[in-house]
A and B are shown apart, each in its own frame.
Chain A
Amino acid sequence: MQITSPNFKQNAVQALQDAQLQKAMGNVRAGFIDKRRKAADALPEFEALRDAARDIKDHTLAHLDLYLEAYEKKVTEAGGHVHWAETAEDARRIILDICRMQNAKTVTKGKSMITEEIALNDFLALAGIEAVETDLGEYIIQLRGEHPSHIIAPAVHVNKDQVEADFRRVHDYLAPNRDLSEPESLLDEARRVLRAKYFEADVGITGANFLVAETGSSVIVTNEGNGDLTQMLPRVHVVVASIEKIVPTLNDVGQILRVLARSATGQDMSVYTTFSTGPRRRGDPDGPEQYHVILLDNGRSSMLGTEFQDMLRCIRCGACMNHCPVYHAVGGHAYGWVYPGPMGAVLTPSLVGVDKSGHLPNASTFCGRCESVCPMRIPLPKMMRSWREREFERGLNPATQRYGLKLWAAFAKRPRLYKFATSLAIPALSLFGGRKKRFSALPFAGGWTRFRDLPAPERRTFMQQWRQGAAVSRRGPT
């Protein structure tokens, strides 16, 4: 997927002018925030579970190599195959090879951000293989030729009328006068169309929410059951998962699952939670004949042992973006790559380089709401700040910002100079502010006064007044 993160500002302005998008983003609050709060409030041990979930992942990351090896052994014992992929290119190549072995024409996919990360659909299309997304939201944006704008609600930016128009455009073989006025009728149509694809598919590709070292299982969580059909019906099931998805035991999965859905959608559990261990065994009524796991690194191992390791605790619940005022304002596409919102602001520079995504860690007010809702207690603002430090060290910020900051710091570091300068500047600015005591335009503060008035200062600084004992008492004018 092409990275447009360097254009974040332009992307954002465009998003702010998109009336339809703005309306759609309004649904995020009703859809996610209140439900998460209710779900968390209803579970007395929620905070303790967050601690436990964090500890499980921290422990796993500290021994990642051991758990991955144990996992591989178990998968192999169950009759499956593990493929190690260092880069996106490696992963795509391995998947294509598996598809070619099957002479595959059609591949079904259960929603997986990791296949977005490796841009799998376009790659398979070039090789003449049709990849069909089976998650409703993913299916909709696939029809639209778009990418997800949210990691669990990929089409959150699209409204019902747009979906109707897309269905009528693409499903042109269906009766033109059919009723598509209700979400239910749209859902029915998607289900009918996708059902045929499940049976047609030669290979089913899913992501994994977790990989379990103890059993060699992959775990997927969905609300539509599409992931189950994707991995059960075709001859071959391919799991694509990044290395940090591993957890030691089934008990660990059980604990983390308890915070996952509550944080994401406010559900106690997702509708479907499915564990897959190897291919169909003798006597099994169904299941794939082959079971492959692609373990993707793609930059993650370079985060281990750094100040960004904690990011690898992320379980992709989307709570951070649901609660982020910046994400609310501009939507997910503005972030310009696969992972939007606060988690993307940390993960994207880690995976594609800060030189290509420098805006993202800066486009935050540091309000801290993301960290306060993160089920894995990932210190997102702290890590964004670490990215900003690396950018600053490498001189990647715009020169005007750097010089402005340096000039300000030169004064802030020298209290006497600072007081002298401000005692001259402030009275001048105050005088300039006029009778209304505010500015509606200021030559050097355009970024502020374009949208807001700037309250004017009083005639003398606090320090001037305090030092000169202007007030009768030191308690100021009464």
Chain B
Amino acid sequence: MTKYDELTEFLLRLGDSALIQAQRLCELTGRAPALEEEMGMMNVGLDLVGQARNWYEYAAERINDGTDADTLAFRRDERAFRNLLLVEQPNGDFAVTMTKQFFYDAWQFHLLTMLKGANDERIAAIAAKSLKEVTYHLRRSSQWVERLGDGTEESHQRMEKAVDVVWRFTFELVEKNGAELALSESGNIPALTELPEKWLATVNEVFAKATLTVPDAPSTFYLSARTGMHTEHLGMLLAEMQFLQRAYPDASW
């Protein structure tokens, strides 16, 4: 398996998470509970595809072997993907869908806010642009978490259950890791030391309004997006997402 330099790996991590989250949202085309929500989810998905493309284009330039954004999205296998385990989880019911979206939005919001100040100008530019869109995403998902958590008895229970289902995958959002530390030491990106606290503060704030309980911090387990060790769901997702490119290589519209 090709191992890229730390900066390229970091770009792939951002791009892959955005793309996989977008793909999950697009699975809901024609299946959302309300037309307005379907449009909302498709629009969020579209923003994320665009963001993924921006990260991929930068990564592809660094890899510099003829790889382009499409190759990175459609020609890599499961083990090469670096997306968060959280975003590859199935959509479940609307409570699960929105809980995942909220955890991811809050993480993106704080991460991009920090990356906006990166010395690497390309990262800073993509982060600043993406952050404007993500601000809307976070606003929407926070409002849904509040509305469902502090809603009816059933919606509250289903939100508690949804948190229970996806919470264990949030360890990746709050883990401290060497690669990002190395990147901040080399001056490419700012130190991300406060990211876990900021993410948790947003979760606490929104959950308080939503009358939901924040569980204890989840612990790391043997799977890790950083090493390409995914849950069984990613393979199925990729099979669908990459089918066309693999069946008809170089197909274009």
- Is this pair of chains taken from one and the same complex? no
Interface residues of B (CB under 8 A from A): none
